[in-house]
């Protein structure tokens, strides 16, 4: 067998998410279909992260096995021929060892959340960012973000649909960058709870709006109840930017 690793970019707006589901079109399903068209082999692909409906990716990673041997250029260009109608693109393809696994071999995952902070509605960035009309206090958001760094029980920051066996997670990096009216929130960790980044962002927005004091973040983490955290930020602002191995 030949194992291939692919790096994928996609716009998640019209998909039910990464994972195959009965209720609509998924990124996983479209890529598997394209592999079948190209190679005439039935395969299952394994992704590094199961992005939700509406969530985008700049550096999603997946792997799959083929009986036949294809050049990496043929994999990349051939798949892009079939994917061009779906706003999915294979940025890079490479051969990897048999023990490589896109999900379980990953050491860190990095997400970006994009906020446009302005009075006017979105046009070019529609479905690609969360527009907030009230001016946010970036300094307070940055002060609050520091409290997420390290290992914590993040039960307050997971959705009711989360199936993770543990709520103990380690945040390696969280950075908030403001440039003109664009706010970028970058979060890096080995793994995440379901909707964790979006709830963290919603909570930081509450801080920026003055509804939560920056110092309250530690208490919210300690109490570990979902109702004490902020809202779940919309899916359209979230991007899986990279996976580190």
Buried b (16+ CB within 10 A) or exposed e, 209-222: beebebebbeebbe
pLDDT the model gives residue 27: 98
pLDDT the model gives residue 166: 95
Q: Please, what is the end-to-end C-alpha distance for the chain in angstroms?
A: 22
Phi, psi of 11 (to 5 degrees): -100, 115
Q: Report residues of the chain scoring pLDDT below 70.
A: none
Buried b (16+ CB within 10 A) or exposed e, 55-92: bbbebbbbbbebeeebeeeebbebbbebbeebbbbbee
For β-strands 238-244 and 56-66, DSSP reports them as parallel
Sorted by where each starts, the structural domains of the chain and their CATH numbers stand as 2-96 (3.30.70.580), 108-244 (3.30.70.660)
pLDDT the model gives residue 22: 86
- Has 52 been annotated as catalytic? yes
Closest CA to 11 of 244, 243, 238: 238
Q: Which helix (H) or strand (E) holds 123?
A: none
Please identify which of the residues 22, 42, 52, 213 carries the catalytic annotation.
52
**CA distances (Å), 190 to each of 17, 109, 157, 167, in order?**
20, 6, 16, 13
Q: Which pTM does this prediction carry? A: 0.95
């Amino acid at each position: 067998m030949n194992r291939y690793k692919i790096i994928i970019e996609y716009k998640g707006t019209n998909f039910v998410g990464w994972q195959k589901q009965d209720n609509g079109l998924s990124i996983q399903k479209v890529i598997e279909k394209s592999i079948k068209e190209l190679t005439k082999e039935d395969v299952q692909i394994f992704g590094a992260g199961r992005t939700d409906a509406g969530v985008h990716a700049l550096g999603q990673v997946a792997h799959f096995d083929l009986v036949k041997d294809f050049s990496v250029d043929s994999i990349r260009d051939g798949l892009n021929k079939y994917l061009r109608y779906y706003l999915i693109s294979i940025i890079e393809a490479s051969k990897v060892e048999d023990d490589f696994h896109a999900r379980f071999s990953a050491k860190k995952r990095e997400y970006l959340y994009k906020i446009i902070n302005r009075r006017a509605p979105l046009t070019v960035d529609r479905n690609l960012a969360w527009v907030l009309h009230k001016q946010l206090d970036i300094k307070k958001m940055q002060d609050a973000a520091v409290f997420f760094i390290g290992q914590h029980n993040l039960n307050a920051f997971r959705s009711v649909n989360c199936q993770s066996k543990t709520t103990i997670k380690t945040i390696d990096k969280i950075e908030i960058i403001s440039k003109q009216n664009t706010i970028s929130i970058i979060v890096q960790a080995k793994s995440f709870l379901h909707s964790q980044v979006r709830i963290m962002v919603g909570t930081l927005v509450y801080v920026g709006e003055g509804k939560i004091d920056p110092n309250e973040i530690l208490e919210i983490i300690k109490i570990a109840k979902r109702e004490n955290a902020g809202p779940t930020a919309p899916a359209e602002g979230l991007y899986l930017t990279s996976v580190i191995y």
